[in-house]
């Protein structure tokens, strides 16, 4: 009789573990799908806007993913990015 009880407990534990694993997989898939739908925007800004975390009066914007920005000349450049 004790062996049957232990076997039932193990079966319930295994089934519960599988259900929790399936539920977590669904949640992680949903979150990653939503993240991929969001658009990453790269904005080239002035030094003043960069210092104040502002994106107003942007010099240029790109929403192409993945983004490549060619550095064709020496000097400082300031960029800001975010999900939009």
Please give the Cα distance from 81 to 58 (Å, whole number).
Answer: 12
**pLDDT at residue 75 is higher than 70:** yes
Q: How far is CA 33 from the centre of its chain?
A: 9
Instruction: Give residue 34's pLDDT band: very low, low, confident or very high (50, 70, 90).
Output: low
What pLDDT is recorded for position 25? 62
Q: Is the pTM of this model over 0.75?
A: no
- Rg for the chain (alpha carbons), in Å? 25
pLDDT, tens digit, 9 for 90 and up, residues 40-71? 778 888 888 888 877 777 888 877 767 777 88
Helices (H), the chain: 2-37, 47-51
């Amino acid at each position: 009789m004790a062996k049957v009880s232990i076997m039932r407990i193990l079966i319930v534990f295994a089934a519960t573990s599988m259900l929790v694993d399936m539920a977590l997989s669904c949640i992680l898939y949903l979150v990653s799908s939503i993240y991929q739908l969001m658009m990453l925007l790269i904005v080239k800004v002035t030094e003043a806007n960069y210092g104040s975390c502002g994106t107003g009066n942007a010099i240029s914007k790109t929403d192409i993913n993945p983004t490549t920005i060619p550095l064709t000349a020496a000097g400082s450049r300031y960029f800001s990015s975010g999900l939009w």
